[in-house]
Amino acid sequence: MSAATVTSPRVDPPVTRTALPPRPSRLWPTLWALVVGAVVLAAAAGLSITWDELPALPGKVAGYLRLMFADPSWDKLPRALLETWRSISMAWTGAILCVVASLPLGLLAARGVGPAWLRLGLRACFAVLRAVPEVVLALVLLTVTGLTPLTGALALGIAGIGTQARWVYEAVESVQEGASQAVRAAGGTAAHVTRWAIWPAISPTVLSFALYRFEINIRTSAVLGLVGAGGIGSMLSNYTNFRQWDTVGMLLIVVVAATMLMDTVSGAIRRRIMEGARVRDVGRGA
Amino acid sequence: MRTAAPHVGAGHAPAPTARSSWPVELDRVCVTYPNGTRALRDVSLRVEPGEMVAVVGLSGSGKSTLIRTVNGLVPATSGTVRVGPHQVTALRGRALREVRGHVGMIFQGFNLAERVDVLHNVLVGRFAHTPAWRSLLGRPSAADRELALRALDSVGMLEKVWTRAGSLSGGQKQRVAIARALTQEPGVMLADEPVASLDPPTAHAVMADLRRINAEQGLTVVVNIHLMDLARQYTTRMIGLRAGEVVYDGPAPDATDADFEQIYGRPVQPRDVLGAGA
Amino acid sequence: MTAVDLAGRVPARPRHVVRTALAVAGLVAFTVATCLPAIGGVELDLGSIARYWRNGADKLAELAQPNLAFAPRTVAPMLETLQMALVGAAVAALLSVPLTLWAARATNPSTPARVAVRTVVNVVRAVPDLVYATVLVAMVGVGALPGVLTLVLFDVGIVVKLVSEAIDSSDHGYMEAGRAAGGTQTQINRVTALPQVAPLFANQWLYVLELNVRISAILGIVGAGGIGRLLDERRAFYAYGDVSVVILEILVVVVVIEVLSNLLRRRLV
C-alpha cells in the first residue's frame, strides 16, 4: 500500500559471523525450565484425578452454574442478610482483637525498642501463628466457646496476630531515625520516643493495615462458618449439602456482593487515611 | 565504560540505508488536548527531503507535540500532516502503523525495555514489517536480524548485542535507540530532545551521529532541542516555537542570540548552551 | 526573661472537632452493633470462656503430646497436598499471563475489555477459598480435582490483581517507542512488556505457591483432598495426638516452603 514498500531492499554484504559476539549460554535457564516442567507434570500425574473425565468437566460445571444462577431463589434472602451481618460482625470484632493485641506485641518486637531475647521470642511466636491455619485454630477454640460466632471472632483475632504484628514491627523499623534521636537527645524516655516519634510516623500505616485486616477477615469469616462458627458460611455449607442449588446461587451472590461492598468502602477509607498522611508529610495540611 | 561515544562510522559497516528520504509537511495543524491545553496553534511548515532541522523552544512550547503529530502519536485536532506519500492525519489503525514503520523516532528517555537484551530492543524497529506470529514466537526472520545487527554495527554497539539494555550507560542506550530507529529503514528520523539526559561529551557524540546519518544517507532529520549551541552547530535549519506557534524559521548556523531571545521570550541564560564537549 | 503577652498572637490550633467526633462515633456505633446478638452480632460471652477454658486447656495438653507413631500415615496425604499446591499454582501461572496483560491499563488500552476482565477477576476474588471447595466438591465429587480447581481460581484472582496493579504503577517508556515504530499492542506486549514484567510475575507465582500449601492443607476438611482430610478424620475420632502430628507437619512444610521461595526470590530478582 505504501510507496516505500515497493522499492526492493538493497543487498548489502552480510555482517561477518566473526564480528558477532557469541550468544551467552542458555543451557542453565533451559535446564531449569525443563526440571520445573517435569516436576509439575509428575505432580499432576500423581494426583488421583481421572483425567479422561476432564473434557466433560466444563459441561458439568456449566450445568450446575445454570442450576444456581438461572433462577436463584430469593425466599431465604432475609435470613441470608442476617447471617451476612453475623459474618461481618465476626470479621470486625476479630479485626479489633487482632489489632489491639498486635500493636504492643509488634512494637516490642521491633528492632531498637525491646531487648533482643524478647524480640526473637516474639518473632518466633508470630512465625508459628502465621503458619497455623485459622480453621485449625477454630477447631481447638470450638471446645471452649462452642459453635458460636465468638469462636470465629477469637480464631480470626488470634490467627491474624502473626501477620499483623509483623506489619507493625516492619512499619516501626522503616521509620526514619531522625525523629527518635531528637526525642532521645531532648532527654526523652523510651515511652516518649514511642509516643512522639514512632507513633505519629506509623499511625496512618497501622490504621490502614487494621482496615486491611478487616477485609481479609471478611473472606475468612465465611470460611470459618463452614466448620460451624456460624454466619453466612454455615448457611452456605448447609444448603450445599442439601443440594438446594437455587438457594446456593442466591447465597453466593450475597457473599460476592457483600465482600465487594465491604472491600470498596474499606478501600476508600484506607486511601483517605494514606492521602491524609502524605499531605501532612509535606506540611500543607491545615 | 567510556563515556564519550566514538564517532560512528570509522571501521564500522555503513548504517542500513533508507530506501528514499521523505519530506514532512504540516498544513494549519492545531492540537488541543482533552484538558483544554492548546499545544499547537495553526502550525504550517515544510521540511524538504534530506534536511536536518532543529525545532527550538522552551519546555511547554509545543516541540514534543509537534514532533509527535508527524507519526500520529499525537493526533492533530485539525489541519493535515503529510509524510512522504502519506497523509498521516487521514490514517488509522493498520495503515497508520505501516507509516510509522517508516518513521524512526528517538526519545529523551531512550525508551528501551531495560530487562530485554540489545538485539531484541533493536528488533522493535521491525514491528511494522513483521507478521504478528513471528513476534509472538520471538523468532525474527534472517533478514530482520541482519538489519538489526547492521544498524547496531553502524553505531558501534555490535559487541553489546546480548547485553541487557538496563546495564548500558546513557550514551550507549541512546545509540541502541538510534540503531532501533535505523532498523526501521526510515524515510524520516524524528528525535525528541535526544541529548537532554546525557553529559556534554556524550551529547555531542550523539548529535554528531545524527548529523552523520543525515549527511551520509540524505535522511530527513527533525530534532527537538532546547540548547542554542547544539542547534547552531549540528543543524542547517531552525524552527522556533513559542506557545504553540512558529515564531522563527531560518538557517540555524546564522541564528543570533537575539533570534533565540525572540523564540524564548526572555534573555538568553547560561543554561541555554551546553558548552564545549568532546 | 520578660513576660511577653502572647495572648491573641498564638494562631488558633487547627482542629477538626466535628470530623473527628463523627469518625469516632461511627466507629463506636459500628463496633457496638457488631456485638449485639439480638441483631446477629457476636455475643461476647466471656462467661463461657471462664466456665469452659479447662476444655481448651485439656485439648492443648493433648495436642502437646504428638503421637509420632502416626507420622508414617501422614506422608501420602501430605504429598498429595504438595502436588495439589504445585499443580494449582502452575495452571494459574499459565492462565494469569494473558489475563493480567488484559487487565492492566499499560498493556491494554481498550477500556471496555479491561473493565470486563477486571470485573470478572474481582468477582472471582470475592469468593473465599473453602467456599469454592465446598461447592466444587458438591459438583464434581470428593477428591483432588475440586481442590486443584479451587486453588487455580483463588491464585488467578490474586496474581491478576496484584501484578496488573504493579504494571500500572510503573513507567513504560518502551511502549511509546514500540508504538512509534508501528507495532501493535500484542507485539509490544510480547517482545518488550512481558520480559519487563516477568519478575513481578515470578514474585507473585512464588507467593501463591506458598499460600497454596497453606490452603491445600485445610481443603480436605470439606472433602477436597490432601492432608486436611486426615486432619478432619482424626479430629472426629478425638485422636488429638494424631491431629497434633498433622498440624506440626503442616507448620514444618509451610515454613520450609516459605524459606525455599524466599531463596528463589532473591535469585530471580
A117 within domain boundaries: yes
The predicted structure's pLDDT at residue A279 = 53
A91 within domain boundaries: yes
Count of structural domains within chain C:
1
C131 within domain boundaries: yes
Kindly tell me if the per-residue pLDDT of B9 is higher than 50: no
> Which residue of chain A has the CA closest to B94?
A1
B277's grid cell? 564537549
Residue A132's domain comprises: 68-275
CATH number of A104's domain = 1.10.3720.10
Stretch 92-121 of chain C: residues touching chain A, C-beta under 8 Å: none
Contacts of A85 in chain C (CB under 8 A): 39-41
Say if the Cβ atoms of A57 and C140 lie within 8 Å. Answer: yes
Q: What is the pLDDT of residues B38-68, one digit of tens each?
A: 888 888 898 888 889 999 888 888 888 999 9
The predicted structure's pLDDT at residue A19 = 62
Strand pairing category for B24-32 and B78-83: antiparallel
C88 within domain boundaries: yes
A267 within domain boundaries: yes
A33 within domain boundaries: no
The closest of A178, A147, A163, A252 to A212, measured between CA atoms, is: A163
Span C188-203, average pLDDT: 88
Supply the mean pLDDT for chain B.
83
Kindly tell me if the per-residue pLDDT of C2 is higher than 60: no
C138 within domain boundaries: yes
Neighbouring C-beta atoms of residue C211, cutoff 10 Å = 20
* Placement of cell 524520516 in the chain: B188
A105 within domain boundaries: yes
A286 within domain boundaries: no
Span B161-171, average pLDDT: 87
Report how far residue B238's alpha carbon sits from residue B224's, in angstroms, rounded to the nearest whole number: 10
CATH number of C231's domain = 1.10.3720.10
Stretch 46-75 of chain B: residues touching chain A, C-beta under 8 Å: none
C-alpha distance from A19 to closest chain C C-alpha (Å):
25
Count of structural domains within chain A:
1
What 3-state DSSP class applies to B98? helix
pLDDT band at C269; cut points 50, 70, 90: low
Report how far residue C231's alpha carbon sits from residue C219's, in angstroms, rounded to the nearest whole number: 10
Touching chains, A (3+ CB pairs < 8 A): B, C
Whether B219 has its CB under 8 Å from any CB of chain A: the answer is no
Report how far residue B126's alpha carbon sits from residue B101's, in angstroms, rounded to the nearest whole number: 7
Report how far residue C208's alpha carbon sits from residue C125's, in angstroms, rounded to the nearest whole number: 13
Best to test chain B binding among A8, A12, A16, A26 (most B CBs inside 10 Å) = A12
Neighbouring C-beta atoms of residue C167, cutoff 10 Å = 22
The predicted structure's pLDDT at residue C173 = 84
C36 within domain boundaries: no
C-alpha distance from B119 to closest chain C C-alpha (Å):
11
* Placement of cell 499432576 in the chain: A44
Edge to edge, what strands does the sheet with B220-225 contain?
A: B103-106, B188-192, B220-225, B52-56, B237-242, B245-251
Report how far residue A193's alpha carbon sits from residue B56's, in angstroms, rounded to the nearest whole number: 55
Whether A166 has its CB under 8 Å from any CB of chain C: the answer is no
Supply the mean pLDDT for chain C.
85
C7 within domain boundaries: no
The pLDDT profile of chain A, 286 residues, written as one tens digit per residue, is 444 433 334 445 555 544 677 788 888 888 988 999 999 999 888 887 777 778 888 888 888 888 888 888 888 888 888 888 888 888 999 999 999 999 989 988 887 777 889 888 998 888 888 878 788 888 778 777 777 888 888 889 998 898 899 888 888 887 767 777 788 788 777 778 878 888 888 888 888 888 888 988 888 888 888 777 788 888 888 898 888 888 999 999 999 999 989 888 888 888 888 776 665 444 433 3
Of A133, A140, A263, the CB nearest to C214: A133
The predicted structure's pLDDT at residue C3 = 58
Task: Kindly list the structural domains of chain B, giving each domain's residue range(s) and its CATH number in brackets, ordered by start.
Answer: 24-264 (3.40.50.300)
C27 within domain boundaries: no
Q: What is the pLDDT of residues C141-151, one digit of tens each?
A: 888 889 999 99
The closest of B225, B101, B106 to B155, measured between CA atoms, is: B106
Is the CA virtual torsion C149, C150, C151, C154 positive or negative? positive
Q: What is the pLDDT of residues C102-141, one digit of tens each?
A: 999 888 888 899 999 999 998 998 888 888 888 888 888 8
Q: Where are the alpha helices (DSSP H) in chain A?
A: 27-46, 57-69, 77-108, 116-131, 134-145, 149-173, 177-185, 190-193, 199-224, 232-241, 245-281
Strand partners, B47: B24
A1 within domain boundaries: no
C-alpha distance from C268 to closest chain B C-alpha (Å):
13
- For residues B212 and B9, the answer to whether their CB atoms sit within 8 Å is yes
Would the pTM of this model clear 0.95, i.e. be above it? no
Residue C249's domain comprises: 67-268
Kindly tell me if the per-residue pLDDT of C226 is higher than 60: yes
- Of residues B83 and A52, more confidence is placed in B83
- Buried b / exposed e over A98-133, threshold 16 CB at 10 Å, is bbebbbebbbbbbeebbeeeebeebbeebeebbbbb
Report how far residue C249's alpha carbon sits from residue C243's, in angstroms, rounded to the nearest whole number: 10
A189 within domain boundaries: yes
C115 within domain boundaries: yes
ipTM: 0.80
C97 within domain boundaries: yes
C-alpha distance from C199 to closest chain B C-alpha (Å):
10
Of C43, C55, C84, the CB nearest to A148: C43
B interface with C, Cβ–Cβ < 8 A, is 71, 73, 96-105, 107, 109-116, 120-121, 123-128, 130, 132, 135-136, 138, 177, 180-181, 184, 190
Kindly tell me if the per-residue pLDDT of C215 is higher than 80: yes
C-alpha distance from A28 to closest chain B C-alpha (Å):
16
B162, B163, B164, B166: CA torsion to nearest 10: -160
State chain A's maximal CA–CA distance in angstroms.
86
Of C181, C192, C199, the CB nearest to B128: C181
Q: What is the pLDDT of residues B244-278, one digit of tens each?
A: 888 888 888 887 888 888 888 888 888 888 876 54
The predicted structure's pLDDT at residue C96 = 94
The predicted structure's pLDDT at residue B8 = 42
